[in-house]
Each structure stands twice: as C-alpha cells, then as structure tokens.
Amino acid sequence: MKIHRHLPALFLLSTAFLAACSTASVNPAGTSLTGTSWQLVAIQSMDDAQGTTRIADPASFTLHFGTDGRASLRLDCNRGRGNYEATPATAGSGSLRFGPVATTRALCPPPHLDERVARDLGHVRSYLFKDGRLFLSLMADGGIYEWHPIPITEQTQ
C-alpha cells in the first residue's frame, strides 16, 4: 500500500523525463556531423559594420548531414542537396567542405537569405561543436554560421 503514496511523484518524474527526451536533439554535444540535423540561428560577419544577422525563423533554414555523405537543406522556401566531407581534427572540431549545392529556384520573400546561405556553404572550411551548438566557419574570415540542434519532435513532423 505504501507504493500508491509515491505514484504521483513517480508519474511527474516519468512525465518530465519523457518531455525532456522528446525535445532532445540528435547529437547535441557531438563529435560527428553524420546523422545530425540543425537549424540556422545567426550569421556572424567578421566585418563590424555588418555585425550579426539573426534568423527570424530558424526552422526555415535547416541542414541535415546524412550518413551517406550528402547534406539536405531547407533554405526558406527552397530546398537543396549536396555532398559534404568532414574530417575530424580534435574532439568536436574539424575541417568541412561542401560540394556544389543544387537548389530549387522559388522566389522567397525578403530578406533573400536562401541564396546567401546556399552560396556560402561552398566557402565553409571548418566546424566546431560548442555548448551544444554547431559553428561553421567560412574561409578567409568570411563569417561564422551558428546552428542549433533541431528538436526530435520537429524532425519527425
């Protein structure tokens, strides 16, 4: 009979655990890009005059690293695909290169970040996992793309 007294607490704990699992992301602390999915939150320019561009709707810009060396993207109202090659250097960082990205060509509403993101992927040279986020650095201090993991609940919808 004493076990019934603990049922409400057990129920709350299990509910909290399931909620945490449902919003967890694929490989958030990661050491490998393979099989991970991300949403773009910011583009940091190395030029102080340009500053940081915050993405109003991060779910509109997503990047999935497939297990087959192919990346798939959502670029606002467009979609894209291309090859990638990642070479780990240390735990949580390494070199990264994208091949040409083929995209659909719908005219997205302003601002037109879809074309910029697709173009800049060809200039990515390295990646870094930090604090559960993914940072992609462009060559020649061209900028840094900041990505957050996509919650599993959004990946399955």
pLDDT averaged per 10 residues in sequence order, the chain, 157 residues: 42 33 42 94 89 95 98 97 95 95 92 92 97 96 96 60
CATH number at residue 122: 2.40.128.270
Other CB atoms closer than 10 Å to residue 82's CB: what's the count? 18
Q: Which domain holds residue 14?
A: 2-155
pLDDT, position 145:
98
Q: Which residues contact 15 (CB under 8 A, 6 or more apart)?
A: none
Count: domains in the chain: 1
Q: Which residue, 52, 55, 43, is CA-closest to 138?
A: 43
